[in-house]
Structure 1
Amino acid sequence: MKVYERERLNGHYSTTAFVIANTLSSTPYLLLVSVIPGAIAYYLTGLHRGMDHFAYYTSVLFSCMLVVESIMMIVASLVPNYLMGIIIGAGIQDVMLLSGGFFGLPNDLSHPFWKYPLFYIGFHKYAYQGLFKNEFEGVRYVYNEAVVQKILDGEYILREKWQVEMGYSKWIDLLIILGMVVIYRVLLIF
């Protein structure tokens, strides 16, 4: 960021040019980082088979990395010290992660602060819910309870166990995350 500040102050290029160039130059590497480890983790854990499910999975990983990169670039532009930037950026990610649905289900979030602003503005909510929908929608599970076979559908698990909002598709969750990327990149320009 220091080189960018010097170049911008000397008038060599604008903030908009930097944001566009940074986005274009980092995209191929972020895509590789999401596809290669994503393939290892996806298939080793036995997640839902099919190329469309894997493509959605890697798309969510890729878009989440773009969001994190955008947030960290905003923090880096505001904080002059490298170490303080890492600490503040990690703190922002931690607060979003705490309210995103990984450590507690949405109905279990106690204070309105954690539920209403943070739960809905953190990208983790949309990533988790999209990934849960990707795995459980359209799937039926057969299990035995007291020698009686019962069928449990994935939508029931999503609604009752994971408390996922089922009013929209997993693709809307992905679009919301990509919208956050655009919003954070535009904020970086200003």
Structure 2
Amino acid sequence: MVKFHPGFPHHAFFCINLFCCLSVIETCMMIVASLVPNVLMGVGVGTGVIVFMMMASEIFRPLPDLPKFFWRYPVSYISFATWAIQGAYKNEMIGLEFDPFLPGNSKLKGETVLQTVFGVSLSHSKWWDLAALLLLLLTHRLVLYMVLKYKDSIASKFRRLHANKTFQHLARGVSIAGERLSSSKRHNPQHPLSSQEGLRSPIP
């Protein structure tokens, strides 16, 4: 309908690219769900992670317009949306020609539209974008495996460390209270009742 590339190879690349992108998002959500204590916090943190990754892609601004520090290097390289969108743009627009904005002008090539309008670099092919997306998927799966394997042991170590610090704090508080009580007894000695004989009693 929009005069993009027809044919099975382009459709297959689109499906594989979309599947890898969804798999990376699913793995991110599983990592977040493994670390947060409840559902509401998981929804909030997971949405924040996805939006953070999308901010460094071509969804909001072209890559050349992103600040080079942090957002372009390195966030745009670890963002799944960057590689997925670049691969989808190249898959659909390279090799096509579009009608010009003004009648009589020469037709616009898809490569020109990618470079000038979307800021997509053509230094590598769409298959490298797909390979980078697959690498991100494997990395996220490895992180998920490490989280699931070592989460309980790390949490138990943190709980043990917290319990030791709490016990030491309580023991220090008890010792300080004991020292204060003993010092108060030394400074305010109690006289026996025999020494108080002969004192006037307020009761007649």
Residue of structure 2 equivalent to 1:177? 133
Q: Which of the residues 92, 95, 99 maps onto 2:52?
A: 95
Which residue identity is paired with 2:36?
Answer: V
Residue of structure 1 equivalent to 2:144? 188
**What secondary structure is seen at the aligned counterpart in 2 of 1:100?**
coil
Residue of structure 2 equivalent to 1:158? 114
Count of aligned pairs between the two proteins: 146
Q: Which of the residues 72, 78, 87 maps onto 1:130?
A: 87
Unaligned runs of 5+ in 2: 147-204
Which residue identity is paired with 2:19?
Answer: F
Q: Are 1:69 and 2:26 counterparts?
A: yes
Residue of structure 2 equivalent to 1:115? 72
Unaligned runs of 5+ in 1: 1-43
Q: Which of the residues 2, 8, 17 maps onto 1:60?
A: 17
Q: Could you state the TM-score of these two structures normalised by the residue count of structure 2?
A: 0.66
**What secondary structure is seen at the aligned counterpart in 1 of 2:71?**
helix
Q: Distance in 2 between matches of 1:181 and 1:105?
A: 24
Runs of 4 or more off by more than 6 Å in structure 1? none
Offset, 1:144: 6.6
Q: Which structure: larger Rg?
A: 2
Q: Distance in 2 between matches of 1:144 and 1:160?
A: 14
Q: Could you state the TM-score of these two structures normalised by the residue count of structure 1?
A: 0.71
Offset, 1:142: 4.0
Q: Distance in 1 between matches of 2:120 and 2:51?
A: 21
Q: Are 1:79 and 2:28 counterparts?
A: no
Q: Check the 8 A contact 2:94/2:110 in 1, yes or no.
A: yes
Offset, 1:65: 0.8
Offset, 1:45: 5.4
**What secondary structure is seen at the aligned counterpart in 2 of 1:102?**
coil
Q: Check the 8 A contact 1:64/1:123 in 2, yes or no.
A: yes
Q: Are 1:168 and 2:124 counterparts?
A: yes
Q: Distance in 2 between matches of 1:144 and 1:60?
A: 31
Q: Check the 8 A contact 1:144/1:150 in 2, yes or no.
A: no
Q: Which structure: greater helix fraction?
A: 1
Offset, 1:141: 2.6
Which residue identity is paired with 2:9?
Answer: D
Offset, 1:48: 2.4
Q: Distance in 2 between matches of 1:45 and 1:69?
A: 30
Q: Distance in 2 between matches of 1:139 and 1:93?
A: 32
Calculate the aligned-residue CA RMSD, in Å: 1.7
